[in-house]
Structure 1
Amino acid sequence: MSTFKSLGLNENLLKAITDMGFETPSEVQAKTIPLLLNEETDLVSLAQTGTGKTAAFGFPMLQKIDSESRTTQGLILSPTRELCMQIANEMAQYGKYVKGLNVVAIYGGASITDQAKQIKKGAQIIVATPGRMKDMIGRRMIDISKIEYCVLDEADEMLNMGFYEDITEILSHSPETKSTWLFSATMPKEVSSIAKKFMRTPVEITVGSKNVSTENVSHEFYLVNTRDRYAALKRLSDANPDIFSVIFCRTKRDTQKVAEQLITDGYNAAALHGDLSQNQRDIVMKSFRSRQIKMLVATDVAARGIDVDDVTHVIHYQLPDEIETYTHRSGRTGRAGKSGVSMVIVSKSEVRKIHSIEKMIQKKFEQKDIPGGMEICEVQLFHLANSIKDTKINHEIDLYLPNINEVLADFSKEELIKKVFSVEFTRFYNYYKNAKDLNAPSGGNVDYGDSDSKDSVRYFVNIGAKDDFDWMTLKDFLRDLLDLEKDDVYKVDVKDTFSFFNTDEKHQELVMGVFNDFKLDGRNISIEISKDRGGRSRSGGGRSGGGRGRGDRDRGGRSDRGGRGFKGKGGSGSGSGSGDKGSYSKRSGSGERTGSFSDRKSGSSDDRPKFAGKSRRRTEKPQNTGTGGKRRRKS
């Protein structure tokens, strides 16, 4: 068995390792540290989160730099503020016996002037997020022209978040002779591309298999109807009384909504997403680490800075848009050699994604049932019994025992037990005694895509990519407008000047009614039942709204697009005329219904900036090109 000493680390680092309680190096550390200490080489290291990657690049960098020099010699780029601060703190701990060492964290949401002052004092190692780093280089607050080592940590996530151009710009100010060390949990083609562009014949180290989940995590999925998703989340929590979990949602809006619902229902929960200030995020994370918060509801980007070893469950309230993200999510549990559970709550239309994830992580999911009400009551009852059994007696109570015994003198031991346990049991029993079965039918009835469902209706609507929609933002727009759940609107297909989408037949009357005399920024929006593949034409359908009919689709009605006031479109007329905001109005018998939608381009989809030119996500279109561009069809 290897030891840290056998890896070649010096006494200053070994002393810090002893203080921190590390005993044996992890696999990625054992493979990486000797290589980086003994060779000047570029490196690609593939390992899951929670395997000790920070120490794998941190110790070699600390041993190689000259701490007596004030010159910046090491640069570490990471995708999020939380991860940036976490790495900086760990590097400072590793190097606490290295005389003169100064590690500075550079990230958005904090004073750029204060950060510049820290750099000016002399920082041998800078840990930074790409956006803030690029900004400070542009202002000539940082000089990285003499760095010897550059680390791209969580490289796959940085690229998914749209930092390719920022990274390219940053590295253009660094010397070509530096050693570049790239660390990533997965190896999509974007990471391979950046390795080829910025690295010279890198050595590749793989711990486990590419894109494969850690062995310490078991994977489960629960099939429910879309409207029962939140109720299912509550039951899973109640069925696991010791749960300490991260719950993932796709959008900031859903993250906040779910957290608020949990808090209202009495759970120790909080939200973590990009709309929070840095101070708010720090408070949330401090409360989570101290276990004051047991259920942290987060977006994918915000959760990248979570480094808590004892997370028992990861719950995917909604699956991510990119299946590779599942690996990052599930890696929040099963850390430091401990076991964890990754639970996925899915509707019928999402089951096909489970099969795709299984292929990627090379592990099978176990389909489980949402527990029934009486099952939860039993679990909670025995949890209470064990809690009482394990409670350490506080003898300060001895003073009050005579009076307590007097009050309870008329009860037998069995009656006292019943009364004590009834306090907690009754609360759950009253809530769950009439609870319905939340499990959706499975087996042969599982729908693997909704597109061929005989109860599915497909609609044509005369808004599309030219109106600054993609499939995701249009889906969010429709579900807000119709007040439906995310999975009630599916098979969204956005074209240049028009789009298609599906709902179940039971929503047809609602859809046609809402779009009757519907206006978006003063423009008439028409909708009709489509006969295209993916849905059926139904009787009673036809056209709704005052816009064009089917025969005008090729023209797309460009003449009345002036009402759209979206950024970069040069809209005029009755639209909102600025930013990314739009407004709608719908005339009914009782007057005109109005409202607004903002941030249309982001669709509140997540925290991440767009990945210009390289992402699998939507990128910005050049202005006035006259074409909508090719878009991936999703639902």
Structure 2
Amino acid sequence: MNTFEQLGLNEALLNAIGDMGFETPSEVQEKAIPVLLDQDTDMVALAQTGTGKTAAFGFPMIQKINVQSKTTQGLILSPTRELCLQITQELKLYSKYIKKLNVAAIYGGASITGQASEIKRGAQIIVATPGRMKDMISRGMVDITNIEYCVLDEADEMLNMGFYEDITDILSHTPKEKATWLFSATMPKEVSRIAKKFMTSPVEITVGTKNSGSTNVQHEYYLVSARDRYPALKRLADANPDIFSVVFCRTKRDTQKIAEKLIEDGYNAGALHGDLSQNQRDMVMKAFRTNQIQMLVATDVAARGIDVDDVTHVINYQLPDETETYTHRSGRTGRAGKSGISMVIITKSELKKIKALERIIKQEFDEKKIPNAEEICEIQLYHLASKIKNTDVHDEVEGYLPAVMDVLEGLDREELIKKMVSVEFSRFANYYQKSQDLNQPAAHQRAYSDDTGSTRYFINVGAKDGYDWKTLKDFLRAQTGLDRDDLYKVDVKDSFSFFNTDTTHTEEILQLFSEFKMDGRFINVEVSSSPGGSGSSRDRKNKGNFSGKRRSQENKKWDKSKNGKKKGKKHSQKKHW
């Protein structure tokens, strides 16, 4: 792979790149930057959201701009206000060592006269949304008749949002001699029409397969009845305690309703849709970026400005009407080289759409089961144990310890742990005591989707150890010698994980990891107590990890001790937004 120096970037840009911590270019940057620097050409670049497209067109444009002239030389059109502001901010970071280079953002919801004044003072690069840009052109507030470079970013999204006429109108005010760079995740016919009408023999680059999804994203679907969509959503959240997700709904009404129900049930949730004021949208996005919101429920249009690299899951509460839209949804996770998971909650009537999506993204979906009560309780128990183990002890606690010790006098270590865990954990056991199976049988299931003949394992490594579903699967394959299809249902949590194999491999797996150490640490693998498959748990020695002991007896005690299903708020430990 090339370095940024080898791409032909100047020293000012390289210094800024170093400050931002970038080390090697992404694939789209590696393919696009040298061409755009060396040639005055049009370009069509197909690459997924989150692959570094802003730098791919931003670096060449900045390097080619004549800072001695205050005339507008570059125009970047983007679909939403949020994306417009993000691109502007990134360009300013890229050009921090280039004096006299000014970048202006033009978007609705802000003072048009203030934006016009900024352009008049001299903005060599304008980043704009189509609607506001067209408005300012008609008022004579901006002159783009002499621009040299025009970028259509997220072109398919702009056209899906109905901006075709605005874009064609804006481009009609630009010179024919300019270089037009079109960046898009998919190539629907509307994007092809723009390319044919306004571009001349463009260079074409594709990252991955045309219209394909990111290889960093695992795609899963869960088959439920229509009435069970919301309970299924809650169970998926409960089975992923560290979830940081975008939940997609089709309508503004559903978005608001689902967000309100999640908040009422105690989840860190927020809504993002077109009926919110700009100030409300800004507040929600700020809360999401700072992790105050774990589940952002959004419409497709409202989510097009989301550019957050750490999203762990995308949940399709409802599938989009257009199959290409799914590519943009799933592109909100697995960004910046990280992995992610795209979940789809569907009914039987929508199964055919999964096949259509597989053809579009060139990837298969895994059919998965909505977690049952025992699985969720087990995951939450491990999560709580890990949270206790990793919590920093504050000095202020010392003064209270003598009195606390008096209260807890007479309890041995094991009994204390049981009581401490039960206090926090009982709300899940309580809530799910009488829960039903939400899964619907599919017409055609993968061989291992039936738990018969499959064993589910616990392993005491997770995201904190640098693993995701891809790298953990690679690690397990390397240690066991099993084929890719022999390891499945790999679910990585914060400090632990689960995986499945056919039961025929159980003895081999347990024997291999009986005394397995890596970097001086025991890697503990044991059969999970939740019904991920057949096989029995083996008594194993606790090697300094909370996970070393089985909890099947404790689980039974918890189940017997609960009376009745808790309604309403159940996760008081979660913050509300």
TM-score band w.r.t. shorter chain: 0.7 to 0.9
Q: Alignment partner of 1:324: what SS? A: helix
1:120 aligns to what?
120
1:239 aligns to what?
239
CA distance in 1, matches of 2:163, 2:307: 22
CA distance in 2, matches of 1:91, 1:132: 20
1:344 aligns to what?
344
Task: Write the deviation string for residues 422-460 of structure 1: whole angstroms up to 9, x where unpaired.
Answer: 122110011000001111232269xxxxxxxxxxxxxxx
CA distance in 2, matches of 1:423, 1:307: 38
CA distance in 2, matches of 1:234, 1:139: 50
Larger fraction in helix: 2
Task: Write the deviation string for residues 545-568 of structure 1: whole angstroms up to 9, x where unpaired.
Answer: xxxxxxxxxxxxxxxxxxxxxxxx
State how many pairs are aligned.
Answer: 446
CA drift at 1:416: 1.4
1:330 aligns to what?
330
Q: Alignment partner of 2:426: what SS? A: helix
Aligned AA (1:407): V
Aligned AA (1:227): R
1:279 aligns to what?
279
CA distance in 2, matches of 1:113, 1:374: 60
2:105 aligns to what?
105
Q: Alignment partner of 2:356: what SS? A: helix
Q: Which moved more, 1:185-194 or 1:396-405?
A: 396-405
Q: Alignment partner of 2:267: what SS? A: coil
Aligned AA (1:176): K
Task: Write the deviation string for residues 461-494 of structure 1: whole angstroms up to 9, x where unpaired.
Answer: xxxxxxxxxxxxxxxxxxxxxxxxxxxxxxxxxx
CA drift at 1:188: 1.1
The percentage of counterpart residues that share the same residue type is 73
Task: Write the deviation string for residues 239-293 of structure 1: whole angstroms up to 9, x where unpaired.
Answer: 0111100000001111111111100100001011111111111111111111010
Q: Which moved more, 1:116-125 or 1:52-61?
A: 116-125
CA drift at 1:46: 0.5
Aligned AA (1:427): R
CA distance in 2, matches of 1:127, 1:279: 21
CA distance in 1, matches of 2:251, 2:214: 26
CA distance in 2, matches of 1:148, 1:442: 55
Aligned AA (1:111): S
CA distance in 2, matches of 1:87, 1:149: 16
1:208 aligns to what?
208
Larger CA Rg, structure 1 vs 2: 1
CA distance in 2, matches of 1:80, 1:138: 20
Structure 2 segments unaligned to the other structure (5+ residues): 446-577
2:165 aligns to what?
165
CA distance in 2, matches of 1:357, 1:113: 45
Residues 484-563 of structure 1: pairs in structure 2 closer than 5 A: none
| Aligned 8 A contact 1:110 1:278 in 2 | no
Task: Write the deviation string for residues 289-344 of structure 1: whole angstroms up to 9, x where unpaired.
Answer: 11010000111111111111111100000000000110110010011111110000
Aligned AA (1:378): E
CA distance in 2, matches of 1:267, 1:67: 50
CA distance in 2, matches of 1:67, 1:279: 34
Task: Write the deviation string for residues 92-150 of structure 1: whole angstroms up to 9, x where unpaired.
Answer: 11111110111111111111121111111111110001001000100111110111000
2:389 aligns to what?
389
2:455 aligns to what?
none
CA distance in 1, matches of 2:114, 2:265: 41
Residues 36-185 of structure 1: pairs in structure 2 closer than 5 A: 36-185=36-185
Please provide the CA RMSD for this pair. 1.2
| Aligned 8 A contact 1:72 1:125 in 2 | yes
CA drift at 1:229: 0.3
Structure 1 segments unaligned to the other structure (5+ residues): 446-635
* TM-score of the pair, normalised by structure 1: 0.69
CA distance in 2, matches of 1:158, 1:16: 30
CA drift at 1:412: 1.7
CA drift at 1:410: 2.5
CA drift at 1:68: 2.3
CA distance in 2, matches of 1:113, 1:411: 71
Q: Alignment partner of 1:75: what SS? A: strand
1:320 aligns to what?
320
* TM-score of the pair, normalised by structure 2: 0.76
1:359 aligns to what?
359
Once superposed, which parts of structure 1, at least 4 consecutive aligned residues long, lie more than 4 Å away? none
| Aligned 8 A contact 1:316 1:343 in 2 | yes
Q: Alignment partner of 1:308: what SS? A: coil
CA distance in 2, matches of 1:295, 1:333: 13
| Aligned 8 A contact 1:374 1:433 in 2 | no
Q: Alignment partner of 1:215: what SS? A: coil
| Aligned 8 A contact 1:381 1:424 in 2 | no
2:402 aligns to what?
402
Q: Alignment partner of 2:323: what SS? A: coil
CA distance in 2, matches of 1:340, 1:444: 26
